[in-house]
Amino acid sequence: MEPFAIVLTLGVVIVAIIAMMVSRAGPDLILLAGLTVLIIAGVVPSKAAVSGFANEGLITVAVLFIVAEGLEQTGAIGHLIQRMLGLPKSRINALMRLMFPTAAMSAFLNNTPVVAVMLPVLDDWAKKCRLAVSQLMMPLSFATILGGLCTVLGTSTTVVVNELVRDEGLRPLSLFEPGLIGFPCCLVGLTYILLTSKILLPDRKPASMQFDDPREYTIEMLVEETSPLVGKTIEDAGLRHLPGMFLMEIDRDGHTLPAVGPNERVVAGDRLVFVGVVESVVDLQKLPGLTPATNQVFKLDSPRSERCLIEAVASDSCPVVNMTIREARFRTRYNAVVIAVSRNGQRLRAKIGDITLHAGDTLLLEAHTTFVDVQRNSRDFYLVSRVDNSTPLRREKAWIAQLVLIGLVLLNTVFQWEILPSALLAAVILILTGCVKPAEARASIDWSVLITIAAGIGIGEAMKEEHSGAGPFVAEYLTGFANGEPIIALTIIYGITMVFTNLITAKAAATLLFPVAISTAGSLDVSAMPFVVAVMIAAAASFATPVGYQTNLMVQGPGGYRYADYLRFGGPLSLLLWLVAVLVIPFWWKF
Q: What is the pLDDT along the chain (591 residues), one digit of tens a residue?
A: 578 888 898 888 888 878 877 777 777 888 899 999 999 999 889 988 888 888 787 888 788 888 888 887 887 776 667 667 777 778 888 889 889 988 988 888 777 777 777 776 777 677 667 778 888 889 999 999 999 999 988 888 888 888 889 888 888 998 889 999 999 999 999 999 999 988 888 876 554 444 444 567 778 888 888 888 888 888 777 777 666 777 888 888 878 887 778 888 898 888 888 887 777 777 777 777 888 877 766 677 777 777 888 888 988 888 989 998 888 888 888 888 888 888 876 666 677 788 888 888 888 888 888 888 888 888 888 888 888 777 777 878 888 988 998 888 788 777 778 778 988 999 999 999 999 989 889 988 888 878 887 888 888 788 777 788 787 777 777 777 778 789 999 999 999 889 888 877 787 788 888 888 998 888 888 999 999 999 999 999 989 888 777 788 778 777 888 878 888 999 999 999 999 999 999 999 988
Same domain, 436 and 455: no
Please identify, among 406, 429, 444, the residue that sits at the C-terminal boundary of a domain: 444
Please report the pLDDT score of residue 194 as a whole number: 94
Task: Tell me whether residue 84 is in a domain.
Answer: yes
Please report the pLDDT score of residue 291 as a whole number: 82
Same domain, 155 and 243: no
Please report the pLDDT score of residue 297 as a whole number: 67
The residue range of the domain holding 551 is: 3-22+448-588
Task: Tell me whether residue 332 is in a domain.
Answer: yes
Please report the pLDDT score of residue 20 as a whole number: 75
Q: Supply the DSSP symbol for 400.
A: H
Number of structural domains in the chain:
3
CA neighbor of 498 nearest in space, from 419, 575, 396? 575
Task: Tell me whether residue 578 is in a domain.
Answer: yes
Helix (H) or strand (E) holding 382: strand 381-386
Please identify, among 444, 459, 483, the residue that sits at the C-terminal boundary of a domain: 444
Please report the pLDDT score of residue 209 as a whole number: 46
Cβ–Cβ < 8 Å for 540, 104? no
Cβ–Cβ < 8 Å for 234, 261? yes
Task: Tell me whether residue 75 is in a domain.
Answer: yes
Same domain, 182 and 225: no
Same domain, 217 and 331: yes
CA dist list (Å): 348 to 27, 273, 335, 336, 352: 49, 11, 23, 20, 9
Please identify, among 444, 462, 478, the residue that sits at the C-terminal boundary of a domain: 444
Same domain, 108 and 232: no
Rounded distance between C-alpha atoms, residue 351 and residue 346, angstroms: 15
Cβ–Cβ < 8 Å for 101, 84? yes
Task: Tell me whether residue 239 is in a domain.
Answer: yes
Task: Tell me whether residue 203 is in a domain.
Answer: no
Task: Tell me whether residue 204 is in a domain.
Answer: no
Query: Could you tell me which residues come within 8 angstroms of residue 584 by beta carbon, excluding any fewer than 6 positions away?
Result: 180, 181, 184, 185
Task: Tell me whether residue 315 is in a domain.
Answer: yes
Please report the pLDDT score of residue 6 as a whole number: 86
Same domain, 429 and 464: no
Residue 258 sits at φ, ψ, to 5 deg, of -80, 170
Q: What is the rounded end-to-end Cα distance, in angstroms, of the chain?
A: 27
Same domain, 371 and 458: no
Please report the pLDDT score of residue 205 as a whole number: 57
Same domain, 296 and 379: yes
Please report the pLDDT score of residue 211 as a whole number: 44
User: 3-state SS of 254-278?
Assistant: CEEEECCCCCCECCCCCEEEEEEEH
Please report the pLDDT score of residue 184 as a whole number: 96
Please report the pLDDT score of residue 130 as a whole number: 74
Same domain, 176 and 280: no
CA neighbor of 57 nearest in space, from 170, 172, 159? 159
Taking the mean position of all CA atoms in its chain, how far away is CA 526? 38
pTM of the predicted protein model: 0.72
Same domain, 421 and 477: no
